Amino acid sequence: MKIGIVGGGAVGLLFAGYLGQKFDVTLIVRREAQVQSLLTNGITVYTGGSSFTTQVHTDLLTDVSLKFDFVIVAVKEYDLKPLENVLKLLDKNQPLLFLQNGIGHLEWVKSLPHHNLLAGSVEHGALKENDHTLHHLGEAKTNIALIKGEWGVVEELVSQSIPGFPFLLKQDFEEMLLTKLFVNVLINPLTALARVRNGKLIENPHLHQLQRDLFQELLLLFPHMERIVSFEGVKGICINTFQNRSSMLKDIESQRKTEIESILGVLLEKAQKEHHFVPIMNVIYRLVKGIEREGLGG
């Protein structure tokens, strides 16, 4: 099976590194320098005190024809819109899997003309060291659910046993993404603002109380999720990823644009439309946006 992976960040490298062991993978990136680095070095993944290197094809986004059996879109949510014209050139029967955080991209994805659209929720931790090297921070799984259409070749992907990189099929894509969103809201912005690793959120009573407050505000917006997501479950994720630094913390430290719009911005819009009072969420959103603005030069 020929798989195209769009995006040369941590998630794109992680998927290419593992899937390239079993499939014919092409990693599609924006910069010529990364193309050359990948062609020379392959992808090296450090995990659990060891490492492996995978050789994959690579191409520039502007040059690639995207003729694959399956395409995985692993760019950040705010980079999806510029891909629209490229994706619309694909065979409409070609399955597309989207791996973005949050739920802000869902309506856009649904508007695409393709017949088979899927959403993914990535639980792995990954830290990109350079254009061809990353650290796999704790083995977990990738959940996949159909947005519309049929599973098709995705079932072959899931059936292949790749050590350290399992997939799990889910029935309800919205429920799957909301579960991940709860985790993102309760971890990413707080670690970014406090400049701490995930575990500190449960060690520090003040930060832990903020997590509890945010959890209650989320249940105002999505009351049906109370039977699906528990605060203790989120706490367990903080324990299991104790030493991890969230992607939003890394973005703030590197003075990059964050995913705060897709994680919190879309929720504030929902709260306003439905007349919910979510003051903690609003303050945290404004603080992250303020820090982000300063880092990007105002």
Instruction: Cite the active site residues.
Output: 180
CB 289 within 8 A of CB 228: no
Q: CA-CA distance, 6 to 267, in Å (whole number)?
A: 27
> What dihedral do alpha carbons 151, 157, 159, 164 form, nearest 10°?
-140
Distances from the Cα of 110 to the Cαs of 72, 77, 134, in angstroms? 16, 14, 32
Q: CA-CA distance, 229 to 258, in Å (whole number)?
A: 25
Return the residue matching tokens 């399956």. 70
Give the Cβ contact number of residue 86 at 10 Å.
15
The DSSP string of 89-154 is: TS-TTS-EEE--SSSTTHHHHHHS--S-EEEEEE---EEEEETTEEEE-S---EEEEEEES--TTH
Return the residue matching tokens 């049906």. 224
> What dihedral do alpha carbons 270, 274, 275, 281 form, nearest 10°?
-30
